[in-house]
Amino acid sequence: MNSIQEQLNALREELREHNYNYYVLDNATISDYEFDMKLKELQELEAKHPEFHDPNSPTLRVGGTITKNFNTIPHEYRMYSLENSYSKEDLLDWEKRIEKILGVESVEFTCELKYDGASMNLTYENGVLIKAVTRGDGFQGDEVTNNIKTIKTVPLRLKGDFPPKFDIRGEIILPLDGFKKMNEERLANGEDLYMNPRNTASGSLKLQDSSEVAKRPLECLLYSLKGEKLPISTQFESLEKARSWGFKVPTVAKVAKNVDEILAFVNYWEANRHELEYEIDGVVIKVNNLQHQDELGYTAKAPRWAMAYKFKAEQVSTVLNEITYQVGRTGAITPVANLEPVLLAGTTVKRASLHNADQIAKLDIRERDTVFVEKGGEIIPKIVGVNLELRPADSTPTQYRTTCPECGTPLERKEGEAQHYCPNVSGCNPQIVGRIQHFISRKAMDIEGLGGETVALLVNEGLIANYADLYELTKEQVIPLERMAEKSAENLVNGIEASKKIPFERVLYALGIRYVGETVAKKLAKHYKSIDALMNASSNDLVNVDEIGVKIAESVALFFAEDANLETINRLKQYGVQLEFSAEQLEGLTETLLGKSFVVSGVFEKVSRNELKKLIENNGGKVSSSISSKTSYVIAGDKMGPSKREKAEKLNITILTEDAFLSMI
């Protein structure tokens, strides 16, 4: 090996070790001056010898790369949300559900602090950081690798016995001291102050110039490993392993044997959270055993094996100046409290949803009242009460409005529903705009170059009246619009054309059928495989589809009973939008297991647990998390829980080996 290259490698390795000692272990072994001198020496050597370039050199921590557009990348492992709990009863109920599904008498948990920052997924291959992707919508996020490389607590190369490939998740946070210093500098420069550490950390990740990100004292606190056949068996062990590989993993995590031990951890940190150098908004509790996590699986939105315990919400009081009313895309009317601006949990709150007429009546909320405001889960502001002592003497009860605030149509309220609706579906502007905005949204058609404001502009200019009209737009029609140059008009039309390749299940979600969210759209698409088959299904047929209830079935049938909707769908077909499964999607799909319900338990050799579940669903079967009399088969791998086996045998349910199941399909 060339002696210059040896010198470079040795210097890089030494600086990485010093960086790790200083930023991760908080235990500097050389002075800042000595570190800077060594870094300067490395920079000079690298400048003289560009042939030995290393994309993960410590010199690149200062940034300098410019990213004009952040690419959207799908997550290999979906980033789920967490269910929230606020009481001991919530935790006890959750613990009972877990024990019932696992068929065990007790479960061990890991308790970790819930850091208030921006979620991040890092991918490592052969010990090197390959990419960093934001949480996004959980399915896909923005690649921000260049910016993340500037954060000193993110290792660019790992040490120790790391696996060949894995993902690790964490929170990008801004320590309180760093946030304070940033605001002191802004104050001295006469600039507006940043509102709170969380938003500042999140905003930093999307700065185009990585050298600007490098100036911010961001940190990355890691807490979750994802990958196949990782060398760990518990969540607590995964934290210790990650720490040994070079990641900054907080040391406050504890193993808890029961809910009482969980609450002791929660109560301690709720009382002492202000001693931390970071902001936290609760505690995350996870089932410790990773095999148990695997068996528990996920609901449509969250893991069954984890729960966030949120600290009591901060509360402030302010004056409610006026109640106004908003119209949503489905015609639902939402009353909104317009408040005297007030600082709450780090942000200025000016508005809060009042939900519906019943909520207003229940709390007897009136204009000019002094109201108590909280943030639900410390995110969404809500009014929780009224200070009656400060109510004006001439106050009168709120009369809920009877006509649409946008089109004047009399409002309707169906029996058993809390909300009022505007029935003027085709003539009420916010409904028209809202439906098209939903159609083009990221989880739906994801039309590049077209945003919500442009949709409103197109509708108001009379260029479109529903989402099918988008496919007739020309560049010449769009260019005269406000803030629309030739290039952006071209991008918009190209983005609409590209959306014709979006798969059927996302198109179905984009149609905006009431109660049909992403998960329901996927279920219906998989079951019916084309819009024609779905349109011809009756409410009774629909109810027989896995997880489709009466409410959803009636809504779907009602949507396809409307002539205007059928006409729109026919137009979408003519334009080439995907309204059925492609040949590639249909490949491998059978109805071999139709009507059969499976529970998967244990560790498998030939395919992973997730692949097994996918095979069941691709062949028409249903995957269930717990054994019941409705279970057709249990697929048993190594280390299957004895109580689960016992229950299956007691109910005379056939237990299949991995090989027996694979033969079946």
Instruction: Please count the residues of the chain.
Output: 665
The whole-number pLDDT of residue 62 equals 64
d(CA 430, CA 416): 25
What's the average model confidence in pLDDT over 274-294? 91
Task: Please check the confidence at residue 371 and state whether its pLDDT lies above 70.
Answer: yes
What's the average model confidence in pLDDT over 422-429? 93
Q: Is 311 annotated as a binding residue?
A: no
Query: The whole model's pTM is what?
Result: 0.72
Q: Is 81 annotated as a binding residue?
A: yes
Task: Please check the confidence at residue 377 and state whether its pLDDT lies above 80.
Answer: no
Active site positions, annotated? 114
Q: Is 35 annotated as a binding residue?
A: yes
Per-residue pLDDT tens digits for 28-47: 777 777 777 777 787 777 77
The two tokens of residue 239 are 């934290």
Q: Is 13 annotated as a binding residue?
A: no
In DSSP notation, 639-662 reads T--HHHHHHHHHTTPEEEPHHHHH
Q: Is 112 annotated as a binding residue?
A: yes
d(CA 565, CA 547): 25
Q: Is 34 annotated as a binding residue?
A: yes
User: Does residue 229 or residue 427 have the better pLDDT?
Assistant: 427
84-310 under CATH 3.30.470.30, yes or no: yes
The whole-number pLDDT of residue 65 equals 67
The whole-number pLDDT of residue 64 equals 61
Per-residue pLDDT tens digits for 516-533: 998 899 889 988 999 999
597-664 under CATH 3.30.460.80, yes or no: no
What's the average model confidence in pLDDT over 110-126? 95
The whole-number pLDDT of residue 116 equals 87
The whole-number pLDDT of residue 307 equals 95
d(CA 572, CA 61): 49
Q: Do 495 and 447 meet the contact criterion of CB atoms below 8 Å apart? A: yes
Q: Which CATH number fits domain 315-390: 1.20.1290.10, 2.40.50.140, 1.10.3330.10, 1.10.630.10?
A: 2.40.50.140
Of these ranges, 49-53, 57-61, 293-297, 330-334, the one predicted with the greatest mean pLDDT is 330-334
Q: Is 12 annotated as a binding residue?
A: no
Nearest 10 degrees: CA dihedral of 463, 465, 471, 477?
A: 0
The whole-number pLDDT of residue 1 equals 47
Parallel, antiparallel or unpaired: strands 597-601 and 633-636: parallel
Q: Do 131 and 123 meet the contact criterion of CB atoms below 8 Å apart? A: yes
Q: Is 135 annotated as a binding residue?
A: yes
d(CA 127, CA 129): 7
Q: Which of 300, 297, 377, 310 is nearest to 97 (CA)?
A: 297
The two tokens of residue 435 are 């439906």
d(CA 577, CA 557): 21
Q: Is 111 annotated as a binding residue?
A: no
For the chain, the domains span 3-62, 84-310, 315-390, 429-501, 504-586, 597-664
User: Does residue 20 or residue 324 have the better pLDDT?
Assistant: 324
- Burial category of 272 from C-beta neighbours within 10 Å (exposed 0-12, middle 13-18, buried 19 and up): exposed
Q: What CATH homologous superfamily does 504-586 map to? A: 5' to 3' exonuclease, C-terminal subdomain (1.10.150.20)
Fold held by 3-62: Helix Hairpins (1.10.287)
In DSSP notation, 374-438 reads EEETTTEEEEEEE-GGG--TT--------B-TTT-PBPB--TT-SS-B---TTT-HHHHHHHHHH
Q: Is 36 annotated as a binding residue?
A: yes
- The proportion of the chain whose per-residue pLDDT surpasses 90, expressed as a percent, equals 55
Report, at the CATH architecture level, how domain 429-501 is classified.
Orthogonal Bundle (1.10)
**Cα end-to-end span (Å), the chain:** 54
The whole-number pLDDT of residue 61 equals 67
Domains 429-501 and 504-586 share a fold: yes
Per-residue pLDDT tens digits for 67-99: 777 888 999 999 999 998 988 999 999 999 999
The whole-number pLDDT of residue 412 equals 95
Mean pLDDT for the chain?
Answer: 89
**pLDDT tier at 614, thresholds 50, 70, 90:** confident
